[in-house]
Chain A
């Protein structure tokens, strides 16, 4: 799935990211508000869906080599967080969908938690 499709499926707003970055492929995703859990269980994931808003979300995504962040439940990152995401080359999206629904939509369209990046 391409990031632009993630954006379309979720009816999401683009807060950070270029047209070229929207063309990038993503292979797997995870949804959590607990960053410790994200750091524990995620391997080679490329999309993080979260309802948590603080700079540690951006740093966690950066640590995990993720390339796309989706804020759910109409949560909006601060301008400082968007600047930090831009610095790390992360695409940031925001949707009004709740976590369960947003994850369900992406999962049923083929973005599971176990996709493997083709090397």
Chain B
């Protein structure tokens, strides 16, 4: 791969049932590129969790992916309420998701910890009332 590949996805925040479509398309793109299946799985799960988070908490957002020879970078950006206490949000089991989301199988407080677990680098920038940007990097080498 000589040039960087960039992908852009709009994440619709109106409909929980369609959440995850961007991650499914991303996964398909990575398969077509011939990326190692284990790396694809880690990257896709991290992006899927992030996408679900954007739908649950922030009425959607955008996902940008840059694939270079060395790494996959996934940037998730929303204009939601922001995260007041990032350290607390990173704790396994801590969740502010409403009960109706839990009945749909999410909101167990595992999203952000899972994203960190499956990526090599993760950075969260968040301002209350402005929005959140999560940047994740998965090394290819």
* Partner of B105 from A52, A62, A64, A65 at Cβ < 8 Å: A52
**Cα-based distance from A62 to B37 in the complex (angstroms):** 13
* Partner of B37 from A37, A56, A65 at Cβ < 8 Å: A65
B105 engages A63 (CB within 8 Å) = no
**Cα-based distance from A65 to B45 in the complex (angstroms):** 10
Most A CB within 10 A of own CB, among B18, B24, B37? B24
Number of A-B contacts (CB under 8 A): 65
B122 CB, nearest partner CB in chain A, Å: 15
Tell me how many residues of B have a C-beta within 8 Å of chain A. 26
Near B by CB (< 8 A), chain A positions 16-37 give: 33-37
Minimal Cβ-Cβ distance residue in A for B93 = A36
**Cα-based distance from A35 to B56 in the complex (angstroms):** 14
Q: State whether the Cβ of A74 lies closer than 8 Å to any Cβ in chain B.
A: no
Interface of A is mostly: helix
B53 CB, nearest partner CB in chain A, Å: 10
A54 engages B48 (CB within 8 Å) = no
Seen from chain A, the residues whose Cβ lies within 8 Å of a Cβ on chain B are 33-37, 39-40, 50, 52, 54-57, 59-60, 62-65
Going nearest first, the 6 A-B pairs with the smallest beta carbon separation are A35-B105, A36-B110, A36-B108, A59-B20, A52-B105, A40-B110
